[in-house]
Amino acid sequence: MASGRYARVFAVSRSGAVIDGADNRQAEFTDEAQLAALAGEIGAAGPVTLCLVASGLLSDGPDLQPEKTYRSLSLDAFERVFAANTIAPALIAKHMLPLMPKAERSVFAALSARVGSISDNRLGGWHAYRASKAALNMLIRNFAIEQARRAPANICVGLNPGTVDTGLSKAFQGGVPGDKLFTPQQSAGYLLGVIDSLKAEDSGKCFDWAGQEVPA
């Protein structure tokens, strides 16, 4: 999928996972020296027309679970969830946005989540995750404003992939109708379609897998 749509694809993960058809690289997303080295290599290959940040963290074992109450808040959970969901995409943007062309259309997209919408929040809970995605959405808006001055054809968006059958959502899929539980491939296909359809005026906003804007 990746190599068919784009001339060259770099797939970067902290584990160094291998994706067929991509140039696979390993990096810690909060290590600026590693991101700078990566940007040097990617930039040397040509202008970047799409940067898609698809990493994120909701839970990890008994010590890191989405909080049902503020009584469960912890510094460690906040630090880990914000590092993965907010700080990493922001630092990736810092190193990748300058590689995006000034006049040719390009897209910086980060996977956000509907629960990061403040106006859509009717259930509460999931404090660190919700807050980290709301902060990500704010940064995306900020980057869009800044890029409009530097590289007006660049579009920065948050994308909600829907409920996707991955380790992240496994424990929270109850009540999701079968036709609304997507495979990763299905969701990726929908999101690439949304990315293709984005226009300059969409920059700074968040969209779901169906291309519907998610309110801030």
Ligand X SMILES: NC(=O)c1ccc[n+]([C@@H]2O[C@H](COP(=O)([O-])OP(=O)(O)OC[C@H]3O[C@@H](n4cnc5c(N)ncnc54)[C@H](OP(=O)(O)O)[C@@H]3O)[C@@H](O)[C@H]2O)c1
- Return residues touching ligand X (CB under 6 A): 13-15, 29, 54-57, 83-84, 88, 111, 113, 160-161, 163-164, 166-169
How far is the CA of 73 from the CAs of 61, 70, 122, 136, in angstroms? 15, 5, 19, 19
Of 17 and 200, nearer to ligand X (C-beta) is 17
Shortest Cβ distance from residue 146 to ligand X (Å)?
Answer: 22
- Closer CB to ligand X, residue 52 or residue 151? 52
Instruction: Provide the residue type at 159 as one letter.
Output: L
CA-based nearest residue to 64, from 56, 55, 54, 72: 72
88 — phi, psi (to 5°)?
A: -60, -50
For residue 69, the 8-state DSSP code is S
User: Which H or E element spans position 33?
Assistant: helix 32-44
Measured from the CB of residue 60, what is the shortest distance to ligand X in angstroms? 8
Residue 170 vs 199, nearer CB to ligand X = 170
Residue number, 161 or 204, with CB nearest to ligand X? 161
Amino acid at 210: A
Residue 121, helix vs strand vs coil:
coil
4 or 167: whose CB is closer to ligand X?
A: 167
Residue with smaller CB distance to ligand X, 13 or 49: 13
In the complex, residue closest to ligand X by CB? 56
In single-letter form, the type of residue at position 140 comes to I
How far is Cα 192 from Cα 210, in angstroms, rounded to an integer?
Answer: 11
Q: What separation in angstroms does the CA of 213 have from each of 56, 76, 135, 203?
A: 21, 32, 17, 11
Task: Check if the beta carbon of residue 88 is closer than 8 Å to that of residue 29.
Answer: yes
